[in-house]
Structure 1
Amino acid sequence: MTDPMAGELQGPTPERSRKTRARVSPWIERTPVRRWVPDSGVAPLPAGSELFLKLELFQRTGSYKVRGALNNVLPADPATLARGVTAVSAGNHAISVAYAARAVGTTARVVMLSSANPARVERCRNFGAEIEFAQDGASGFARMEEIEREEGRVSVHPFEGEATVLGTSTVGLEIVEQLPSLEALVVPIGGGGLISGTASIVKQLAPACRVYGVEPVGADSMRRSLDAGEPVALDRIDTIADSLGAPHAAPYTFGLVQRYVDDVVLVDDDAIRSAMRALFLDAKLVAEPACAAPLAAACGPLRDRLAGRRVGLVLSGSNIDLDTFAMHLRAAG
C-alpha cells in the first residue's frame, strides 16, 4: 500500500495510533458504541439510515480531550514534568490536562475563558489545577504561552500538534474496530483536533467511509479556512457550543482536514438545542451543545447525503451544569 502520508504532511498512521492507544489506555475508557433508533417525531433522521453513537461523553473526564492531553504529558521527561503543565481552554481541555497532570504526579496551571461553564471550572479544580481566567481565546493563548516561558511548564495545545492529534486518532481506531461496515461518520469541529485525528485513521482503514465535520455558524473557522485554502482566524465567536469556539484554525490540523475530511457543514444554535433535546428525551443522554452538533447536522444539512447509510456520530462531551442544560432544553421548545 502507498503511504497515505507521503509528502510534507506527516500525520497519524494506524501503527502509530495503536502505539498511542497502548500508552494512554491505562487512564482512559474504550468508550462504547450504541445503536440508536429514535422516535421520528423527536429526531427526524435521514430516510433509511442506521445510526450509531460513539459515546465519548462517557470518557473519564467527560470528553474525548483526555486522549490528546495524556499523549502530550505521558512521554515528557521527569525533569520537565516536575515544572508542571499548562493549557488554555473553554473547559474540557483544561479538565483533561488537569487529569493528565494528576496521573503523572505533577501540577497544572490552566487558563480558562471567563465564560467557562461553572461545572467545568469546578471539575478542573477537583483534579487539582490552579486556574486563571482570560476574557477571550486570543488573550488566553497569549497567557498560556507566557506561563510556558516564565515557568518552564509543558504547554498542551487544545487542538494543534502531532501529539494531540495522535491522541484523538485513537477515537478513529476504536470506531473502525467497533463499526467495521460504517458508511459515514459525523464529527464536531472546534479547532480540528478531534476530526483530524479521527478522520486520518478512519480514511486509512476504511477509505469508503465518508467523514463529515460540523461547526456552529458562529464559530466556523475550519469552514472559512477550507474556503480560503489556508488557516484563518475569526474576529468573534457567537455560539452556545463553547467547546467548538476555537478562535482560529491551525496549520497541522487544517492540513489533515483538507486531506481526509469530505466536507464541513454548519448548524445554528437552534438546531443544536433541538438535538440536545432529542438526545435527552429519546437516547437519555445529557449532551453539552458541542456534543449534539453531529446530530443537528445529520437531521439538517447532511440529511440527504446520509439517507440509507450506516452513520456514526461522535458525541464528544457532557460537561455542563444542570441550570444551563435545562435552559437550552426549554429554549428548544
Structure 2
Amino acid sequence: MSYPMPSLEAGAYPSLREIAATAGRLSGKILRTPVWRWQTGAADALLGADTEVWLKLELFQATGSFKLRGALNALLALDAPARQRGVVAVSAGNHAIAAAYSARACNVDAKVVMPEQASPARIAACKALGAQVILMPDVHAAFSHGRQIEMDEGRTMIHPFDGPMIAQSTATVGMELMEQVPRLDAVVVPMGGGGLCAGIASAVKQTAPHCAVIGVEPMGADALYRSFRSGRPERLERVDTVADSLGAPYALDYSFQVCQRFVDDVVRVTDDEICRAMFYLYRDMKLVAEPAAATASAALFGPLRDRLRGKRIGVIVCGSNIDPARFAELVQRGAA
C-alpha cells in the first residue's frame, strides 16, 4: 500500500553517518544483539522451507529491551547542568527501566512516571535501579504528570519514542541487522509510538532501498495505523491491548514523519494473534518474549503470511520484561 510522501528534508531524519556515530558512542555500553534463523515449528509449517525468517534478538539487550539504546544515548548527550537537575521518563515499563538504568550509569537522578496497571516486575526493576517511581491512573495521566514534572523541576524529559536522539539510537538496531543478515527482502517491526520503527526503517532504507519495512501495531493501540491512513498524527481515546509496551496513546510529528518517509506499510494484529506468536516463539525458539516482542511474529504468521512467503525476512523481537505468571497466562492463551 502506498501513502503520501511527507516533506521531510534531508537532515531531518537519521543519516547513515549519524547512525554510525551513535553506534560508536554506544559501543561498549550496550550489547550488539544476535540474530538467529527460525527454521522449525511454525516457521516451517506456516511459511514453508523456502521462507527465511531471521530474528533480531533485541530482547537479549541489557535491561531486556531495545529501549536502552535511546535512553542511554539521550543521557550521554546531557550537559553538566542538565545532569544536575535530573531526568524524568514516562513509560509502562521498558523505557522506564532503561531510563533508570541509564541514569544510574551516568550518576543522574531519575523520576519515572508509570500507569498503575504497569507490571509489578517492571515497577520493582525501576526501584531497584534507584529511580523514584510515580504511579498514575492511566497512560494519558502519566504523560501529563511527566510533563508537569519537567516544567516544575527543570528535569530533562527522556522521551520514550519521539525525536532525533531516539531515532538515531533505534537506527543502530537496523544497521546491525543489515550487517548481520545481508540481502533481506523485508524487515517487520513492532510499533508503539513509532520510535523503533522510524529508526530501523531509516537505516534499512538508506542501506537497501529495495527492502520493505513493515510496521505492526496491536488492534487496541493503533495510533500509527490510523495516522498513516489520515496523513496526520492521530490520538487514541483509550488503549486496550496485552502488548502494553506498545500502548502509546498518540503519534507525534517527528516519528510519524520519519515512518511516513521510510515505512512501506503498517498492519494490525489481534491480542489472540500476539499470544499465539508468544507461544510459537516459546515452543519453537525457547524465547520468553513479552507481548510487544511477539507482535512482529504475529503479523508474519497472520496478515503478512502470503505477502512474505518465500522471502528473506528480518523480524524484530524487541523485549522480554514480563513476570513469569503473566507470561504463563498469555502463552497458555496462545496455545489454546
Q: TM-score range by the shorter chain?
A: over 0.9
Q: How does 1:155-234 map to 2 (within 5 A)?
A: 155-234=157-236
- Structure 1 residue 153 corresponds to structure 2 residue 155: yes
1:183-202 residue CA offsets vs partner (Å, 9 max, x unmatched): 11100000000000000010
Question: Match of 1:49?
Answer: 51
- Following superposition of structure 1 onto structure 2, how do residues 1-333 of structure 1 map, counting pairs within 5 Å? 7=9, 10-40=12-42, 44-45=46-47, 48-332=50-334, 333=336
Q: Closer, same or farther in 2 for the Cα pair 1:41/1:168, shift >3 Å?
A: closer
Where does structure 1 differ by over 6 angstroms across 4 or more consecutive aligned residues?
A: none
CA distance, structure 1, for counterparts of residue 63 and residue 42 of structure 2: 32
Q: Find the aligned partners of 1:294 and 1:75 in 2 and give their Cα distance.
A: 31
The whole-number CA distance in structure 1 between the counterparts of 2:326 and 2:9 is 46
- Among all aligned residue pairs of Structure 1 and Structure 2, give the percentage whose two residues are the same amino acid: 51
The amino acid across from 1:133 in the alignment is: L
Give the CA deviation at 1:7: 2.2
User: Relative to structure 2, which stretch is displaced further, 223-232 or 4-13?
Assistant: 4-13
TM-score, structure 1 normalization: 0.96
- 1:40 and 1:241, CA in 2 relative to 1: closer, same or farther beyond 3 A? closer
Q: Are the aligned partners of 2:39 and 2:49 in contact in 1 as well (CA < 8 Å)?
A: no
AA partner of residue 251 (structure 2): A
CA distance in 2, matches of 1:5, 1:156: 26
SS of the counterpart of 1:144? helix
CA RMSD of aligned residues (A): 1.6
Distance 1:279 1:214, change over 3 A: same
Q: Distance in 2 between matches of 1:236 and 1:6?
A: 29
Question: For residues 43 and 21 of structure 2, what CA distance do their matches in structure 1 show?
Answer: 44
How many residues are paired up? Answer: 330
Distance 1:106 1:191, change over 3 A: same
Shift of 1:122: 1.1
Give the Cα–Cα distance (whole angstroms) in 2 for the partners of residues 120 and 43 of structure 1.
Answer: 35
Letter in structure 1 aligned against 2:75: V
User: Which SS does the other structure have where 1:282 is aligned?
Assistant: helix
Q: For 2:179, what is the secondary structure of its paired residue?
A: helix
Flag structure 1 segments of 5+ consecutive residues without an equivalent: none
The residue type paired with residue 205 of structure 2 is K
Q: How far did residue 45 of structure 1 move?
A: 2.8
Structure 2: 5+ residue stretches without partners:
1-5
TM-score (normalised: structure 2)? 0.95
Work out whether residues 46 and 306 of structure 1, in 8 Å CA contact, stay in contact via their aligned partners in 2.
Answer: no
